[in-house]
Amino acid sequence: MKAITIWQPWAACISHGEKRVENRTWGPPEKLKGEFIAIHAGLTYDAEAEKTIRECPYLKLPDDHHRSVAGAIVAVAKIGALITESHDPWFSGPRGWELLDVCAMPTPIPARGLVGLWQVPEDVEQQILAQAGEWINTFGGNG
């Protein structure tokens, strides 16, 4: 399983909020479309992002507990379409990864993140599958 590291509070907005698009300068690899990836909450906290979310009437910030998780897998999501324009308030471009069938981990799984897409270590993947395997099997993907 592949993973992507996302700064907080963005990772919490995916795992425990309504954010269903991840903004990047690059699109998801074609071979990952329709596959589940792990969402990793990085160690960096983007305070400006929190301010932006709080100021936007269309966006909601998850609670402090979920925003404080760092250095852990917090969810899995299926990669959908590449988005280049959208009215979704979470989209800021230039490219967006549509996130489908998001499943939050009941217990965040500690893991070391990396830049870009990275391969989840086998022991971490087993922990992900123990928590979300039924979800992944129900909604299809690389379970």
Range of the domain at 105: 2-139
Q: In which band, very low, low, confident or very high, does the pLDDT at 141 lie, cut at 50, 70 and 90?
A: low
Residue 41 near residue 6, CB atoms below 8 Å: yes
Tokens describing residue 70 = 């760092």
DSSP assigned state of 32 = G
Helix (H) or strand (E) holding 77: strand 72-83
Residue 143 above 80 pLDDT?
Answer: no
CATH code where residue 77 lies: 2.30.130.30
Residue 29 near residue 69, CB atoms below 8 Å: no
Prediction pTM value: 0.93
**What pLDDT digit, counting tens, does each position of 23-39 carry?**
999 999 999 999 999 99
Single-letter code of the amino acid located at 89? P
**What pLDDT digit, counting tens, does each position of 56-91 carry?**
888 988 888 888 899 999 999 999 999 999 999 999
Q: How many domains does the chain have?
A: 1
**What pLDDT digit, counting tens, does each position of 94-116 carry?**
999 999 999 999 999 999 999 88
